[in-house]
Chain A
Amino acid sequence: EAQVTQNPRYLITVTGKKLTVTCSQNMNHEYMSWYRQDPGLGLRQIYYSMNVEVTDKGDVPEGYKVSRKEKRNFPLILESPSPNQTSLYFCASTDMMNTEAFFGQGTRLTVV
């Protein structure tokens, strides 16, 4: 089954404690991206990657890092989380024919 898998689904952490949200896809897609979704603000792109070792900033990259060492994985790293990063995060992957984006099930992060 084609899918994008994020882990964890829920995470409560404290300010400043480094964390990683993993994302893996099994569709051999070149393109992957991370979004955050906040009430009233909609989905905003954090980072995207067009292929292995190729990443670029989206609209709201501050406070986040990503890496793309393998095609299937695209982890999101918060080196020093702050309460304003409390949000619902989604990973997505797309093939290079620019058709549909497949989204993960989401990670609800709370930073206290």
Chain B
Amino acid sequence: SQKIEQNSEALNIQEGKTATLTCNYTNYSPAYLQWYRQDPGRGPVFLLLIRENEKEKRKERLKVTFDTTLKQSLFHITASQPADSATYLCALDLYGNNRLAFGKGNQVVVIP
């Protein structure tokens, strides 16, 4: 069956350090992969999109990598801040028509 896996354990990290999250998928060949941020009780907010022919994408303190051979994306938050505390979701387009399938999310807690 098709799966998108994110670490279910919260990531506790000291302020200023780099947080790294992993998204693994099986049985997909996505054209792109997206990352979203979600705060409790609120809708996900888009952060970054990376296409299958891109190895890396950056936006301010965020960096995403995409390895289609390993079927894995890494999401990095550099110089993390308490305001970065949230749940981060990866999402894959199932059929190229934005039928997004989401991972369950990985919570990040940045400790001051």
Contacts and interface: CB of A to CB of B under 8 A. Distances in A.
Interface of A: 4, 31, 33, 35, 40-43, 45, 48, 50, 58-59, 88, 90, 92, 94, 98-106, 108
A104 B43 contact: yes
B111 interface: no
Interface stretch (B15-23, B67-75, B98-106): B98-106
Contacts of B105: 42
A41 B91 CA distance: 14
A90 B43 contact: yes
A83 B105 CA distance: 25
B34 A100 contact: yes
Interface of B: 31-32, 34, 36, 41-46, 49, 89, 91, 93, 96-105
Given A40-B104, A98-B98, A99-B49, 6 more contacts: A42-B103, A45-B101, A98-B93, A101-B34, A101-B44, A106-B43
Contact of B98 (A31, A35, A42, A43): A31
